[in-house]
Chain A
Amino acid sequence: MDSRRRDVLKKGGGVTLASLLVAAGWLRPGDVLAADAWNKAAFEAKSLDSTVKALGGSSPAQSKEITFVQTPDIAENGAVVPIGVASAIANTTAIAILIEKNPNMLAAVFEIPAGTEPAVSTRVKIGKSSNVYALVKAGGKYYVAAKEVKVTIGGCGG
C-alpha cells in the first residue's frame, strides 16, 4: 500500500512540475529551441513554413549573412552529403538544416549556447536534387538561406 501511494505521488508530482514549468514560461509547448524533448511535430513537418511554425517561429526572412560551408553543388552520393552552416547574424542561438525534397524536411537542429561559434558541420541524406535550407534563430527571430544541391545517386533507396 505504501509503495502504491508513492507511485501516485511520483506521477502526480511529475505532472505538476511539467505544468508549472509551462506556466512559468520555461518550457514553451511546441518550441524545440527551448525545450529538451525531441520535437516530433517539427521533424514530421513537410514544408518550410510548417517546420518553422513547429519550431515556434513564423515566416523567416531571407538572409545573406548565413553561409554554406563545405557544401557541394553536386553530391555524387546522396546518402552522405556534407553540409556546413555558418551564421554571421548577432545572437544566433540555433541553426537548423532542412532538405526540401526529403520526405520530412527537417534534418537537424543545433542549439548554440553563448560562447559556441554559430557554425556547425554534419552529413545528411538527400533523396534527390533539392534545395537545402539553413534556418537560423537569432535574437528570437528566424532567418533562412537556400542552396541547391544536385544528387546523382539518391540517399534514401539504400
Chain B
Amino acid sequence: MADPMRIRAKVSGSMTEVKALMSHEMETGQRKDSSGKTIPAWFIQDVNVMWNGKNVLSAQWGPAVSKNPFLAFSFKGGAKGEKVQITWTDNRGDKRTDEAVIA
C-alpha cells in the first residue's frame, strides 16, 4: 500500500481550494535499469475527488504526470469541518483513498 496523500482544503470566499500531493513512482515505462531491461510502466490512471458525496473533479492521467503528483483546483461551496475525499487507482489496480477536513 502506498503512502498517504497530503491533502489541504481551504475555504476562500465562496470557493474551496484543494491541493493534494500523492505519493507514487509514476514510472513511465520508457526508462531502462542498469542491466538494460525496460522498467515497466507504473502510474496513477484515475483520480477522483469527492465532497459531501458529490464528485467535484475526476482525472485520467498518463505516465507523463510527474513522480509524486501534485494537483490543485477549486470548487464552489464547501464549509469548514466538511470533508474532501480523494481516491486514485494505478495501472496495477492499486487504490488509495485519503480525506482531509476543510479548513
Contacts and interface: CB of A to CB of B under 8 A. Distances in A.
Interface centre among B15, B56, B64 (most CB of A within 10 A): B64
Nearest to A117: B74
B56 A102 contact: no
Contacts, number: 102
Q: Chain B contact residues: over half helix, strand or loop, or mixed?
A: strand
A52 B64 CA distance: 17
Interface in A25-64: 32, 36, 38-39, 43
B72 interface: yes
A99 interface: yes
B60 A39 contact: yes
Contacts of A38: 45-46, 60, 91
A112 interface: yes
Given A38-B45, A108-B65, A122 B57 contact: no
B62 A43 contact: yes
B38 interface: no
Nearest to B49: A116
A106 B67 CA distance: 16
Nearest to B29: A103
26 contacts: A32-B60, A39-B60, A81-B66, A103-B30, A106-B64, A107-B61, A107-B64, A108-B61, A108-B64, A109-B59, A109-B60, A110-B57, A111-B59, A113-B54, A113-B58, A116-B56, A117-B15, A117-B75, A120-B57, A121-B70, A121-B73, A122-B65, A122-B66, A123-B69, A125-B28, A156-B28
